[in-house]
Structure 1
Amino acid sequence: MFELLSNYGDILLEGFLNTLIASVVALFFSTIIGTFFGVFKVAQNRILNTLAAIYIQLFLNLPLLVIVLFFYIAFPMYVTGIDGFTAGIIGLTLYTSAFIAETVRAGIQSVPAGQMEAGLSTGFTYWESMRYIVLPQAIKIVIPPLGNQFINLVKNSSILAMVAGLDLMYYGDLIASETFNVFDTYILVAFLYLIITLPLTYLMQYLERRTAANG
């Protein structure tokens, strides 16, 4: 294993950084998109309800690989071409945002209806009540499942290896095929993934305890 690090440490580091960048970018955009569609799913506007339902059901029921391959192979046939790294980020964002939307929707619906009524009675509009009263409470409720989605996103980022996304798994496959040292290679790759996922797990556990302590 130390020989692998000595000979291939530079490309493993590149793959690790690319995995980290792809995960952070996809996490940022999927959280924003998912929150919006989660709110739209429970909105009083039927058009927004329908739009959110179509979006969520579409990406909940499509395999991640199909989404990524669409943007890597099919999409460039009609629009400008994109590389595997970008296609992977787009696929991860769309796929994960659908799960986040459902999580946020469940959190909003678990907030007592009286909270929205209280906001409306004080002169807030529906959207102001949602933003300032309901949504903050919903986010506190859904921190544990959101944390699971974030961790799943990091693990799902290995899909970039299927489209030459230059991620950690891509370089792991490359090293394994060159050295035939499959066992040590994938043990090392797994360890590098844990460097990303374990701190994220502990961070979400800390936030869960913090919000529980604050009521």
Structure 2
Amino acid sequence: MYKWNWDWVIEYKEQLIEAAYVTIKLNIYIILIGSVIGLLLGLLKRVNFFPIRIITIGFIDIIRTLPALVLLIWFYFCVPIFFQISIDAFTTTVIVLSLNLAVFIAEIVDAGIESVPELHKDYGELLGFSKRNNLRYIVLPIALRNMTPPIVGQYINSIKLSVLASFIAVPELLSVTQDIISQTYRPLEFYTVLAIVFLVILLPGTLLSKRYELKAMMKKSNKGY
């Protein structure tokens, strides 16, 4: 029978803490960059200039279609060869997973703006707002309430996908955990710690998403009476 021994976890705690720091830093970059790019793509998808709109839609569809792991490995090995540049594994992961997050954020932004009633959009025009100011001060604040639950859900999925960085040797939690297990042959202890760490990171976001979804359901229910 397997005998649990948590002394190994204590012995390697510094490596695990460093890996957790890398994971958190990686995801902060991905969420920030992905959110900004996603917002821009979502707005570009709605512009009246057809070439920009069709290029944006095509880019979003291509990135959404490709599996994140395939895109990550292709980018890491092929882009330096094609463009004669050097990109480290951490930067590659930030770029690829930011784009992966961005295209889903773009769809959420587009749907959120579309969900704003036309009556609210007309208010800005009546007040003499330009299209840009109408979007900034009236449409986006209303759309943001509708976008929040799915955006939080995408953030959670993005954090889960960050473990793919281990495939190109980024020293994040999964990669370091596997290295330690190969040295200690104690998989259950370290995979349990890994699960607990991700639970601590992801549970607040999951609860927040549920809270926003519940509020949205209550608002829809109240409007029905």
TM-score (norm 1): 0.91
2: CA distance, partners of 1:67 / 1:127: 35
- In the TM superposition, what is the alpha-carbon distance from 1:4 to its structure 2 partner? 2.5
Q: Please say if 1:7 is aligned against 2:11.
A: yes
Aligned length: 215
- In the TM superposition, what is the alpha-carbon distance from 1:2 to its structure 2 partner? 2.1
- In the TM superposition, what is the alpha-carbon distance from 1:47 to its structure 2 partner? 2.9
Assess, with a 3 A threshold, how the Cα gap between structure 1 residues 48 and 137 changes in structure 2: closer, same or farther.
farther
Matches within 5 A, 1:55-204: 55-77=59-81, 78-204=83-209
- Percent identity at matched positions? 30
- In the TM superposition, what is the alpha-carbon distance from 1:134 to its structure 2 partner? 0.7
Q: Deviations over 1:66-112 (max 9, x none)?
A: 22113311111223211111111111100010011111111111111
2: CA distance, partners of 1:111 / 1:79: 46
1: CA distance, partners of 2:135 / 2:47: 9
SS class of match (2:12)? helix
SS class of match (2:138)? helix
- In the TM superposition, what is the alpha-carbon distance from 1:202 to its structure 2 partner? 3.2
Amino acid at match of 1:94: L
Correspondence for 1:48: 52
Q: Deviations over 1:99-148 (max 9, x none)?
A: 11111111111111222222123222222211111111111111111110
Correspondence for 2:223: none
Larger radius of gyration: 2
- In the TM superposition, what is the alpha-carbon distance from 1:210 to its structure 2 partner? 7.7
Structure 1: which 5+ residue stretches go unaligned?
none
Amino acid at match of 1:32: V
Correspondence for 1:38: 42
2: CA distance, partners of 1:171 / 1:36: 35
2: CA distance, partners of 1:36 / 1:212: 28
2: CA distance, partners of 1:148 / 1:6: 33
2: CA distance, partners of 1:68 / 1:139: 30
2: CA distance, partners of 1:81 / 1:214: 51
Q: Deviations over 1:179-212 (max 9, x none)?
A: 2222222111111111211122234455667889
2: CA distance, partners of 1:24 / 1:213: 32
1: CA distance, partners of 2:211 / 2:86: 42
SS class of match (1:142)? helix
Correspondence for 1:18: 22
Amino acid at match of 2:147: V
2: CA distance, partners of 1:112 / 1:45: 23
Amino acid at match of 1:157: S
Q: Deviations over 1:162-184 (max 9, x none)?
A: 00111001111111222222222
* Pairwise CA RMSD: 2.1
